[in-house]
Amino acid sequence: MLSKPYMTGRNITFILNGCLNNDRQCQKELYRQLHGFAMSVCYRYADVEEQCVDLVNKGFLKLLNKLNQIHRNGDTDTMLLLKEQFKLILINICVEHYHKIKGISKDHDNNMSHEQLTGKPIEAIRSLSPINRMVFNLYAIEGYGHMKISKILGISLNDSQFCLMQARNQLREQVMVSKPATT
């Protein structure tokens, strides 16, 4: 239980300075404040929740190691800047993870029924194959262009465009199947 008054989340600069000085309570508080955000980023890329938690933990350790490089001026944008940097770290960790598993799960199929996906867009995205999910997330959600995606993933520009087209078609099919027929 955190008993220090500064650990309420109101003074992010103090927490960041504590993290830089290896204060475990400050690191724990920073993790607590960023955990939900990090899970929402990694959830789109991971196959299972355990994988997502592992990616978040790796990302948090990398964030702590790079914390001294992040400019902190004490204004209200500190948390926003921190989240932007953390998101980039998390995306890179997810891409690295994809490169490690891409040979293992070439023809991934989540086998989720259309009923399970109804009204759950994130679950529909997670049902895509790893490469289609990665390209879709990087393009549609993160706003990366095909040139950057092809460099990050080590695929051709045409492959990036094809994977996005496949992902969109699969998602469109899921939406069409899940819509009730109107008579």
Rounded to whole angstroms, the Cα distance separating 95 from 63 reads 16
pLDDT at 80 exceeding the cut of 60: yes
What pLDDT was estimated at residue 180? 59
Rounded to whole angstroms, the Cα distance separating 114 from 175 reads 9
**Burial class of 83 by CB neighbour count within 10 A (0 to 12, 13 to 18, 19+):** middle
> pTM score, two decimals?
0.73
134-144 pLDDT tens trace: 999 999 999 99
DSSP string, 106-122: TT------HHHHTT-HH
What pLDDT was estimated at residue 182? 56
pLDDT at 30 exceeding the cut of 90: yes
Which sign does the torsion angle of CA 133, 134, 140, 142 carry? positive
Please state, in angstroms and as integers, the Cα–Cα distance from residue 146 to each residue in 4, 35, 160, 161, following that order: 48, 29, 6, 7
What pLDDT was estimated at residue 58? 96
**Residue 138 DSSP SS3:** helix
Domains with residue ranges and CATH for the chain: 5-101 (1.10.1740.10), 114-178 (1.10.10.10)
Rounded to whole angstroms, the Cα distance separating 22 from 100 reads 31
What pLDDT was estimated at residue 119? 52
